[in-house]
Structures are given as C-alpha cells and as structure tokens.
Amino acid sequence: MSTELLPTIQSPADLKKLPIESLPGLATEIRHAICEQVKKSGGHLAPNLGVVELMLALHYVFDFSHDRLLFDVGHQCYTHKLLTGRQNLLGKLRQRGGMSGFPSPDESPYDLFSVGHAGTSISTAVGMARGDTINGEAFEPTENTDGRRVVAFVGDASIVNGVAMEGLNNAGTLKRQFLIVLNDNNMSIANPQGAIADYFDHLRVGSTYRSMKKAAKNVMGKLPGGSMLEDMTHRMTEMMKDAIFEDSWFEHFGLLSIGPIDGHDIPSLIEMLIEVKEVDRPLLLHAHTIKGKGFEYTEQNATTFHSPKPFEVKNTSVEMQPSGRSFTAAFSDALCELMQKDEKIVAATAAMPDGTGIDKAIKQFPNRVWDTGICESHAMDMLAGMAKTGCKPFFALYSTFLQRAFDQVFQEVALQGLPVRLCIDRAGVVGGDGAVHHGFCDTALLRVLPNSVIMAAIDEPSLKAALTFMADYNDGLSAIRYPRDTVQLTDFECVPFKIGKAHKIRSCKSAKLAILGFGTTALAALAAADCVNPEAIDVYDARFAKPVDGELIEQLLKNNIPIITVEDHSIIGGFGSAVIEEANRRNLDTTLITTLGLPDHWICHSSRKEQLADAGIDVAGISAAALRIFCANKTESPLVVTN
C-alpha cells in the first residue's frame, strides 16, 4: 500500500497544499496506519475509522491552530492527531511516551481539553465562544474576518446525553458563528438507544439525505483556487439551501440545521464547510458516517472493534490476543446466576453492555435488563424508582462514569435509603486509557453517603460472594468495585461476606505487621509478605471500605502491630483514610498506620502494571513499605527473598 502522502503531513498547513482529489488516497493511508497500530497496541478502532474524511475536511477548511475544535468523548481523535504533528507518537499509542488515546493538551496545543466523557463538547465550545467574544477575538463576517471560529464535534449517541442537551439549549442563544458537527453513525459503543435514536433512523432515510448524496456527485475540484470558488458560489448556495432541514428537531434549540450529508464524501464536505464557516449564527451540520469504515471486519462488527485488544487478521478472520478471564466476564456470569435464582433482580447499564459484561444478561433476561444509552444520571434515577417498587436493581458501570451520576446517588438513592446496587467496573488505574478513565475516587464519593456499604473483590469467588451479599442487602446503597484486569486464581477459602468484616488470608504465629488490602492489592500484599518475611506478616482481604472492620483495627493497634493499608484508589478519602478515621474514633494510635494508594497527581497512559508500580502499590512497592516499618521499629532482620 502506498504511503506517499501521510509522511508529508506534519501540520494542517501541509494538508491544505494538497488537491482535493488526492484526499481519498490520504484517507486510505490514514486508515491503514491506524488499523496497523491498533492491531499491535489495542485502542479505539471503529470510532476512528469512521471519521477520517470528516477530520480531513475540517482541518482542510478551518485553521485549528487559531480556530477552536472541541471533541466529545475524544476517542475518535486519531486522525486529528496524525494531521497535527504527532505521527511520531503513533508507534507507542496508549503507551508511556506515546500518543494518548484521547485529546491531551500536554501533547499539543491543537487539543484544547483532556476529554474522555460524553456530552461535554457543546458546553465547553459555548464557553470558548463566549470567551472569545468578550475578548474581541470572535469571528465576525464583516468586522473581524480573522477572528476565531468555534466547532464542536459530537456523535449521535453523545448528543442525547443530558449535558449535551443543556449545551444545545445554550448554544441556540449565541449571536455569532458556532458550528456543531454531528457525527451520526447510528452507533454508540453498542446499538443506540432511545427515541432520539429512532428520530435519526427516520431522518437518514428521508428525501433530504438522498438529494444531498445526489448533489454531492456534482462537486469536485481543487483547493485553494480563488477563481474556482467564485465560479461555484451560486452552486454552493443552492446546495446549502437544499440541505437546510427546516423541520429539524435542532431548530427548536435555535440552531440552523443542515443535512444529513454523506460524511465520507470529501469534496461535498469541504464545500459545505466552506459555506457554513461564514454563517454568523449557531448551526448544526449533520453528517452520516459508517462506524469502522474502510475495513470489512470493523464495518460488520463495530461493537467488537470499538476498542479491541491487540489482534491479527489471518485469512480474512480475526484473532484477538489471548488473555485470561476478566473480572467483567466473572461479573457477567455471576449476575446471570443471581437473576436466574431471584426474579426480583433487575439490571441496567449506560451504553456499556459489552464493556460491563451485562450484554449476556440482556440476552437472557430482556424484560429485566436495560441499556439506557449514555445517560448515567437517568439510569440511576430509573433504578431508584424500581427499587421503590420492590425490585432489586443492579447498575453496572465504569468507575469513571459513576462520577456523572453522583447527584442521583445522593438524592434519589442514598437519601431515600433505597437498595440500589452499584457494580463498579474499571476501578483503579485502567492502563492505556489514562487519566480520563481512571477509577480513582469512587470510594471517596460513596463513603460520604450515610448508610452506604462499599466493598471490593480480590478474585472471582469473592466477587460472587459480594454480589450474593448485595442481593440480600436491602438497607440502602451498596457497591462492589473490581479492576480492569484478569482474575487471578487463588487457593484460599472464600467465606461469605459479613458486613464490616475483613477476612484473613495469611496468618503467622508472631505477627509484627499486618497488611490490609482493599481489592486485588491484597494479592500483591500476599506476594510482598512472601518477599519480606512470611513468618512476621499477617495479610487481610479488607473487603469493606465502609464500614471498615473496627474491631480488627483496634485489636491490631492495641497490640502495637503496625498496619499498612493498600488500595487501588486515591489515598485521599479512600480505604486507608477510613481506617485512620476509625482508629481515631476509637482513640487509637494512628501513627502505626501507613497508607498506600494512588498519589495526588494525574497518572498518564501506560500499562496498568506500570501505573501500579508508579503508585507503589505493586509487590515491590508494598515490600519496600514493609521493610521501612521493620527498619524503623528495629525489628529483627527480616528474611528477604529475591525473585
């Protein structure tokens, strides 16, 4: 495959030098480069393949070193990054020192926000539009033709998010240029949900889209070229008139609505963008795209290839890199088993059926499980309503997205004393997705809520035991957290969960130190004890961050046994903080407690193993902390085992 064009593009200025007819070839090169890299490192494949032409057209027409481009979610930014001087970073995509999988201002001034959550681009774009106007820097067709234009790029699944609706409501009040590009691929991570998704389905097959596709066939030429643009002025104006959708739903927000147009037809996209960039009022350009465009296996199965692991293509078939059983898979099986036994159990997820493992339950229990789309707040309130009727609701979501529904957890769940059960996937550091997706504050958020119960699993048996406990717990909010990781096989007994009680998983005759691990860090603590002194360290699976095991804490501290707490969560407000607070409440010596967890700074994209090591909560980090305590207490020389 030819790769003659892409290496010549070091900035959008280089892109603008190319004739339009060469851009489809560049699009092919970009798709090939992205696909080849994601095969090696994993990453968001289908979303990026679907927007190549849109990104090329946007950068061809606008100058985003000056104009504003705001991404929604941001997982579709690879083409944007390749066009803005970051091709050298692609080879280490989502790895330390390489290209982040999401927009990152630390990488480039072309990235205005670190983005990883849906629904935000319209509101932040409105803010920049208002700020530029106040500063006298906004584009005006007559008074300030060199001013900044603002573009928000958002998908059809994200635009139905509540925050996006609030942004639309305010965008329509702007008295200046403001462009929303709606990337409509008829897909969220999975299939889109809701009435607005049905509206988009109806719109795509309407006469407007068909006429626009026909009109686009007549558009071709080269840019820049002043004489050509002058000759095409009338045709472009008529094209734009034909594209205006007067009955659009977006008209009710005060936005002129254009399209749908073909999001893969570069010439028509460029001409339309040239036209709409001069409009001095809020406008939405609706572009229809194909998620996973350009490769048969991604087009046919965009959900699987939304964010795949490394893979190989062999004889037209795809083989994913093998990995062990995940916590997500363990949760999926355990939930289905519980639902089989208890007809009161219902479940929901917010646009993440595959990512949370709830897709299996949706297939088995279609009348008791729902994917609500990207609306965590609604899902939480819906489940609160179901709990009020006597159902037993389970909500499966990523830790990073739990933050979006905290108000509803507070108001409609905890304040009411309702037994909604949170199954928090991707808790702790998440590897390549980096800071935008780390689950570092779920315990801190939930721990402030009266009567909340917060647990963590260390393996599959403990996860099943925790879910069983939650199914029978009806006194209020409960939560179980587990990481984006494979499940380790363990050989110790898993006893049923008893509220507020830790479980000893390593005992010695004369303990000089106790390590309390919350979640899978307990397994790292076991290995650390073996490395330092297995005859002097007790290890506990803490199980509960609220309520913590106060009796155990008191017993250890009254016997002058130092405690190390370990968690894959922020030290601030986490399990270790809860242990110190409980010790203080009992008037115990808190100087004997050492807390290990995620530090008070952002952790960049790299492997989960590297991130745990950086935080000092891997085997080496826990071992080092134990050795420091032994040395400080002048305990007899510990046995040190080297690997």
pLDDT of residue 320: 79
Clarify whether residues 334 and 189 are in a common domain.
no
Clarify whether residues 38 and 71 are in a common domain.
yes
Q: How confident is the prediction for the chain on average, in pLDDT?
A: 90
Clarify whether residues 117 and 36 are in a common domain.
yes
Q: Is residue 639 part of a domain?
A: no
pLDDT over 70, % of the chain: 88
Number of domains present in the structure of the chain? 3
- 406-465 pLDDT per residue, tens: 999 999 999 999 999 999 999 999 999 999 999 999 999 999 999 999 999 999 999 999
Clarify whether residues 273 and 230 are in a common domain.
yes
Q: Is residue 487 part of a domain?
A: no
Clarify whether residues 220 and 148 are in a common domain.
yes
Q: Is residue 640 part of a domain?
A: no
Distances (CA, A) of 512 to 155, 533, 551: 56, 10, 18
Clarify whether residues 536 and 594 are in a common domain.
yes
Q: Name residue, tokens 């085992």.
A: 641
Q: Is the pLDDT of residue 208 over 50?
A: no
We report the CATH number of the domain holding residue 19 as 3.40.50.970
Q: Retrieve residue 508's tokens.
A: 């010695």
pLDDT of residue 338: 98
Q: Is residue 494 part of a domain?
A: no
The domain boundary residue, chosen from 281, 297, 313: 297
Clarify whether residues 461 and 508 are in a common domain.
no
Q: Is residue 350 part of a domain?
A: yes
Q: Is residue 497 part of a domain?
A: no
Q: What distance in Å separates the CA atoms of residue 257 and residue 416, rounded to the nearest whole number?
A: 42
- β-strand pairing of 513-518 with 503-506: unpaired
User: What angle (nearest 5°) sits at the alpha carbon of residue 523, between those of residues 589 and 472?
Assistant: 85
- β-strand pairing of 369-371 with 345-349: parallel
We report the CATH number of the domain holding residue 532 as 3.40.50.920
Clarify whether residues 291 and 334 are in a common domain.
no
The domain boundary residue, chosen from 275, 297, 319: 297
Clarify whether residues 444 and 579 are in a common domain.
no
Clarify whether residues 139 and 241 are in a common domain.
yes
391: domain range?
327-481
pLDDT of residue 233: 37
Clarify whether residues 511 and 473 are in a common domain.
no
- 168-204 pLDDT per residue, tens: 999 999 999 999 999 998 754 455 555 555 555 545 4
Cite the active site residues: 291, 376, 404
Using a cut of 0.85, tell me whether the model's pTM lies above it.
yes
Q: Is residue 492 part of a domain?
A: no
Clarify whether residues 280 and 169 are in a common domain.
yes
Q: Is residue 303 part of a domain?
A: no
pLDDT of residue 347: 98
The domain boundary residue, chosen from 451, 481, 511: 481
